[in-house]
Amino acid sequence: MLRWLPLGLAAVTLAMLGVSHLLWGVGLAMIVWGGLNSAIPVAWSTWLSREISDEPESGGGLMVAAIQLSIMLGGAFGGLLLDHISIAATLIGGAILLVLGSLMVGNGDRIKRLAS
């Protein structure tokens, strides 16, 4: 689940570019994007509570810090793309980062391998 949600978001983000000339297409893509995006915190919190059961507060703090850092860097990176290239570049850049994040996260089993 941790891998597939960002990949789904990347696909829907790129689909928005493909249907950008159709109001209903963009609206539908945004509804799907919102549904996928709202599932991510639930998936991450579930994974975190299952894998770091002895230190949930520390894990939660790290997750909040990672989210805040991502928002800051995403805003800066997206702003640069928008200022220097185009609005489409922000969507493509976001999709690329989502795919890279999905590859880094994998299926979330690295903690088990590191702990054993």
Mind listing the pLDDT tens digit for each residue in 49-67? 777 777 777 777 888 888 8
Number of structural domains the chain divides into: 1
Look up the domain containing 39 and give its range: 4-115
Using pLDDT thresholds of 50, 70 and 90, give the confidence band for residue 47.
confident
HEC profile for the chain?
A: CCCHHHHHHHHHHHHHHHCCCCHHHHHHHHHHHHHHHHHHHHHHHHHHHHHCCCCHHHHHHHHHHHHHHHHHHHHHHHHHHHHHCCHHHHHHHHHHHHHHHHHHHCCCCHHHHHHC
Mind listing the pLDDT tens digit for each residue in 86-113? 989 998 998 998 888 888 876 666 555 5
Neighbour-count burial of 61, counting CB atoms closer than 10 A to its CB (0-12 exposed, 13-18 middle, 19+ buried): exposed
pTM, 2 dp:
0.75
